[in-house]
Amino acid sequence: MENIHELKAQLASPKDIVIISHRNPDGDAIGSSLGLYHYLLSQGHAVHVVLPSEYPDAFLWMPGIQNIIVFDSDQERTREVCERAQIIFCLDFNSLDRIDKVGEIIQPLNSVKVLIDHHLYPEPFADYVMSDTTASSTAEMVFDFIVLMGHRPDISRATADCVYTGIVTDTGSFKFSTSPKLFRIVAELLELGVDVNEFGRFARDLQQRFRGVLTGTLEPEDAALGKLVSLAGVRNYPSRIKCALLGWHALMQALDEKPAHA
């Protein structure tokens, strides 16, 4: 990221901050947003997370998710916090059309805009850009951003849980887009208290429901994968997320084979 010292200086005093991610948010969008949310709160900022559309119920366990503002449900509140924001973080999308009408709200604002994203060809709408197409996920980049800010010791368990969620989902439980650096980050997250078994239970529930939809043993309306409640919803979900769910299935098999007291 260029001019990192300028941004660091702006974040040195409390600010009104909004974090935005893309429509139809996946685990990386939610995990990176909430991970950054908890970090910025710890630094004394007033922070709001805005999503254009609802998030899957499967992520309701995540710390802070109850505070997310959903544009589709509360347009007035979305506009209010965005217009008041001094800094707007844009996570896990590379163009304003990925956030639909929220993009129309923030584009004309004079707020400082910060883009953190791992997708190709980011559009030039942000004042500060952290772009890394080699990163596994935006959640990994949020971890890197906190380190760049010099606040590695300030990473809390809540931040760690959220960042880990983003990494797990966008790598299909470490089946793709991995690197030695990523596993070093994951090791730090585990040292901060991330409970792999807890994530295993979460993943096991998802993969059982998903498998039920695919095999026809569960009726689509009863196989509530969060907002992926219909077979059409599963089929139309981004391929990256379907891969992640299949990755979860592989992870569950590995956990099932692990000795109980290992």
We report the CATH number of the domain holding residue 33 as 3.90.1640.10
Shared domain for 97 and 217, answered yes or no, is no
**Is residue 184, in this structure, part of any structural domain at all?**
no
Shared domain for 18 and 108, answered yes or no, is yes
The residue with tokens 């119920």 is: 57
**CA 255, CA 168: separation in Å to the nearest integer?**
15
172 band by pLDDT with thresholds 50, 70 and 90:
confident
Shared domain for 150 and 200, answered yes or no, is no
173 band by pLDDT with thresholds 50, 70 and 90:
confident
The answer to whether residues 7 and 1 touch, using CB atoms and an 8 Å cutoff, is yes
138-153 pLDDT, tens per residue? 999 999 999 999 999 9
| Amino acid of residue 259 | P
197 band by pLDDT with thresholds 50, 70 and 90:
confident
Residues whose CB is less than 8 angstroms from the CB of residue 202 and which lie 6 or more positions away in sequence, other chains included: 58, 61
pLDDT above 50: residue 237:
no
Answer with the residue of higher pLDDT: 190 or 209.
190
Shared domain for 111 and 239, answered yes or no, is no
60 band by pLDDT with thresholds 50, 70 and 90:
confident
Shared domain for 148 and 77, answered yes or no, is yes
The CA-based dihedral angle spanning residues 52, 137, 134, 20, taken in that order and rounded to the nearest 10 degrees: 30
pLDDT of residue 136: 96
Residue 54 structural domain: 4-159
**CA 36, CA 155: separation in Å to the nearest integer?**
10
pLDDT of residue 239: 52
Residues whose CB is less than 8 angstroms from the CB of residue 47 and which lie 6 or more positions away in sequence, other chains included: 17, 18, 19, 37, 40, 41
| Pairing state between β 69-70 and 87-91 | unpaired
Domain count, the chain: 2
The dihedrals phi and psi of 208, each to the nearest 5 degrees, come to -65, -40
| Pairing state between β 128-131 and 112-117 | parallel
Shared domain for 74 and 29, answered yes or no, is yes
pLDDT above 70: residue 232:
no
pLDDT above 60: residue 11:
yes
Q: Quick one: how far is CA 175 from the chain centroid?
A: 18
Shared domain for 249 and 142, answered yes or no, is no
Q: What is the mean pLDDT of residues 106-124?
A: 96
pLDDT of residue 224: 39
251 band by pLDDT with thresholds 50, 70 and 90:
low
**Is residue 111, in this structure, part of any structural domain at all?**
yes
Nearest to 55 by CA among 67, 46, 37: 67
pLDDT of residue 57: 80
| Amino acid of residue 249 | H
27-53 pLDDT, tens per residue? 999 999 999 999 999 999 999 999 999
